[in-house]
Amino acid sequence: MLVQVKVHNKNLQWHTNVHIYGLSLAIGDAHFMIDKIKAGEAYTEYFYNIDGEREGEPEGFVNEVDYILGKTVNCFTLNISGLGWFPVFDSYAPGKEYLEIDGYYIDYGGAVTTPWFQRPKCFFEKEHIKIINSLIEKSLEKKPLFTLSFPSKKILFMETKDQVQFYTEKELRVDYSKPTSKVYDQLLKIYEDEKLGFINADVKTKEYCYDFHLDQLSSDKFEVYKVESLVKDVDWYAAYYAKFHTDQKDIYKRKITSEEDQNKMDEWLSKQPLANEMKEILDLANYDPNAPEIESFKTTIDLHGYLHGYYLKAM
């Protein structure tokens, strides 16, 4: 019996880093998510089930990956327990260049290991894209985790809040009383307007918005695959993220944290939704800011395994 080998579009390119302030990143059908916003209180009425108040749904973020395995859904969420930047790579459908997307790679590991926007030059180069394609190829050998349905053939990345969040120099509001398609058009117009003066966290760029992302798709259904390390080894995982994301040269050497860097770390921690709890945990764990960076990667693996991210493949 012939085994069908799944292939993907290898013409991947980095598109954006989507920013969240501390909740989860939601990815799904744009019209579906806009309808949830239009219904009111999308965070508590859809994205998050407080104390299990809604019977039949998981407590907490209801569309986390573990809760939707084997299902067909309109949306899923990714949580990293704090603020972060999710690198997003995409590919255009052949013959539909710059019009329709047929594949997305969302780098979860990048958001966890590198909680800032900037990436080294090698992150954008062909060598990195080649490795990502190898990671995806290996993931396609297994069954998809779940299926994403996009009736509108439009995708939206947003933080799990009551509305699509963004900030501009001049106050600007989306009129959610309009029909769903018109709301999408408003968001698209805002997203593409380089003259609005976007205010992005920790990024000086004003031409582009990194708090949400949306686009047109080539299909109304996408399979979602879990992407893991080519080699399930701490050193391989750490070497990959150290080179292509954190730009660290010697991850086995003890660090010397300057007073300035320590102040930045303290400021970052203070901005987290559970800052006091996080500080207590760090104290109990005898957190050492000068420990070799390899220790941080080991902790990430303890929490998330060798997970790199998720690949969305058009069906």
- Stretch 234-260: mean pLDDT: 88
3-state secondary structure 152-201: CCEEEEEECCCCCCCCECCCCCCCCCCCHHHHHHHHHHHHHCCCCCECEC
Task: Give the pLDDT confidence score for residue 261 in this predicted structure.
Answer: 78
User: Residue 54 pLDDT > 80, yes or no?
Assistant: yes
Token code pair at residue 164: 């699509």
Q: Any bridge partners for residue 224, and if so which?
A: 146, 312
Task: Give the pLDDT confidence score for residue 282 in this predicted structure.
Answer: 63
Cα 48 from chain centroid? Answer: 18
Per the CB < 8 A criterion, the answer to whether 85 and 200 are in contact is: no
Confidence of residue 56 (pLDDT cuts 50, 70, 90): confident
The domain locations on the chain are: 13-229+305-314, 239-303
- The model's pLDDT over 89-118, given as tens digits with 9 standing for 90+, comes to 999 999 999 899 999 999 999 999 999 999
Q: What is the dihedral of CA 245, 250, 254, 259, to 10 degrees?
A: -50
Looking at the chain, the whole-number percentage of residues with pLDDT higher than 90 is 76
- The model's pLDDT over 264-307, given as tens digits with 9 standing for 90+, comes to 877 877 777 667 776 676 665 556 667 788 999 999 999 999 99
Q: What's the maximum distance between 2 C-alpha atoms anywhere in the chain?
A: 64
- The model's pLDDT over 170-212, given as tens digits with 9 standing for 90+, comes to 889 999 999 999 999 999 999 999 999 999 998 999 999 999 9
Residues 6+ apart with CB under 8 A from 166: 190, 198, 209, 211, 212
User: Residue 5 pLDDT > 90, yes or no?
Assistant: no
pTM: 0.89
Per the CB < 8 A criterion, the answer to whether 160 and 78 are in contact is: no
